[in-house]
Each structure stands twice: as C-alpha cells, then as structure tokens.
Amino acid sequence: MQVIELGWLDLSLAALLVVALAGTTYVTRLGLERDMLIAAVRTVLQLALIGFVLETLFAFAALHWVALMALAMLLIAGREVMARQKRRLIGGWAFGIGTVSMFVSSFAVTILALVVIIGPEPWYTPQYAIPLLGMMLGNTMTGVALSLDRLTEGAWRQRLVIEGRLMLGQPWSAAMADIRRDAMRSGMIPTINAMAAAGVVSLPGMMTGQILAGSPPALAVKYQILVMFIITAGTGFGTMSAVIFGSRRLFDQRQRLRLDRLSAPR
C-alpha cells in the first residue's frame, strides 16, 4: 500500500482550523488564542527540527549520537516536569527528582524492550530506540509531573494533619502515607485509563501511524500492545520513584516536616 504524500498546502488547510479555533476563543473571551497560536508555531518548528535531526541520526546510527539525543530528551522532559508543578521543591530538587525518576524507569524499560523483546541489530538502532524512548518519556513525564504536583500540594494543604501525626509518634512515612498513595494514583490513572480504552474508545497513536504507513493491522496491534505495556510499566515505576524521593525530601533528618523546601505557588 502506497503512503499518500502530504504537501505544505495540505498542512496549511489543517492549520486554518487551528486559526479558526483561536479566533473563536478570542470572540468568546476565553483568553487562549495567544497560547494556542504560539503552541501551533512551536509544533511546526519543533517537529520540523526533530525531523531533520532524526534523518541525520538515522543516516549515521552511532551509539554516541543516539545517547546524546536520549540525554537531550531526558533533560527537556525533566524541565517540563519542574515547570508543571504549582508548588515545587526548591534548590533544583524538583528537576533532579523528576529527571532521575524518569531516567531510572524510562531508560531501563526501553532498553529491556529493545534488547530482550524487539531485538534489533544493533540494539540501539535509532528507528526503534528513539521513538520508543520518546513515547516512554512523554507518558512518564506526565505521570511524574502529576504525582509530584499532587504530593506537594497535598503536603501543604494537610500540613497540620501531618504534624499532628508526627507529634503522636508516627514516622514520616506513616504520616504521609495517604498523601503518597493519592499522589501515585493521580500519576498512574491517565495511563491506566488509556490502556483500558485502547481499541474500544480510541486507536492509539503508534498503531494509527503504522496503519497509515501501510503496515498490516495485525502487526500494528502487536506493536501497540507492546508499547502500552512498557509505557504503563515505565510510568508506574517512575511515578512511584518520584513520590518516594519527593516525600522524603519534605522531611529532615529529625523527621520534621519542612515546607520551607517548597516554592511559593505559581
């Protein structure tokens, strides 16, 4: 099956829909038109740039270039995790905890999938490694950001409850147990919902892309199942790691709640 080429005129027609929506939000005074148009321009520029980078990367396919690309993706994802939190840990801890959690979970699961399950030669083949890692980091980033935001906001709102539990002799982990559970749940629920609705409510992006590219639907289904499973695992482990590290940072060595380690609300 031949892939239908898209021209710039076709993309311009699609862009008109976004412009029309921006105009509608301006008329209805939603205040979203500026952010929407900036996001649309960023989408075009960023995807055009990444397309050029990937073409170059695919041509060379060297491990150090793949690793450099993966590192850049990780650092950008860590910055996005930090930016999405209303109250974040100060002193670089918000960036550090989010980045380390995503590195441990996303990279470990992606390498496991490449080496053990898919098995390309070499294992770091960029056509497989970069898209898989990108999907892993994108979903894990959302889970980690949601969980850390819920954790810090919950600690701030329930500070009197936490301090009361500490005064009764509970360790910090017990005093924060329900807040940590809620934070982990908030980070995992979007991924679990996406997995539960896949194929019934929606056709996931990778499967749709493969089908449009001409792959047999049965093969696209297998790859999508693999991707959903590893995304769920990576997001889950990343979310739990971030909440564990983040909640420990909220207490000092004497198990006192230290809300001065949180920034002012943004």
Rounded-to-integer distance, Cα 142 and Cα 237, Å: 13
The model's pTM: 0.84
Range with the poorest average pLDDT among 43-57, 105-119, 190-204: 190-204
**Which pLDDT score is estimated for 2?**
62
Residues 6+ apart with CB under 8 A from 198: 204, 224, 228
pLDDT (mean) for 106-131: 92
**Which pLDDT score is estimated for 224?**
86
Give 137: exposed, middle or buried? Use CB within 10 Å, 0-12, 13-18, 19+.
Answer: buried
CB 247 within 8 A of CB 239: no
Rounded-to-integer distance, Cα 176 and Cα 254, Å: 15
Residue 211's pLDDT band, with cuts at 50, 70 and 90, is confident
**Which pLDDT score is estimated for 246?**
94
Rounded-to-integer distance, Cα 160 and Cα 162, Å: 5
pLDDT in tens, 242-266: 999 999 999 999 989 998 888 888 7
φ/ψ of residue 119, rounded to 5: 70, 45
**Which pLDDT score is estimated for 45?**
93
Residue 105 has pLDDT above 60, yes or no: yes
Average pLDDT score, the chain: 90
Residue 198 has pLDDT above 60, yes or no: yes
Residue found under tokens 């950001």: 145
CB 156 within 8 A of CB 207: no
Considering only residues 222 and 199, tell me which one the structure prediction assigns the higher pLDDT.
222
pLDDT (mean) for 37-48: 92
Rounded-to-integer distance, Cα 157 and Cα 154, Å: 5
Rounded-to-integer distance, Cα 255 and Cα 96, Å: 22
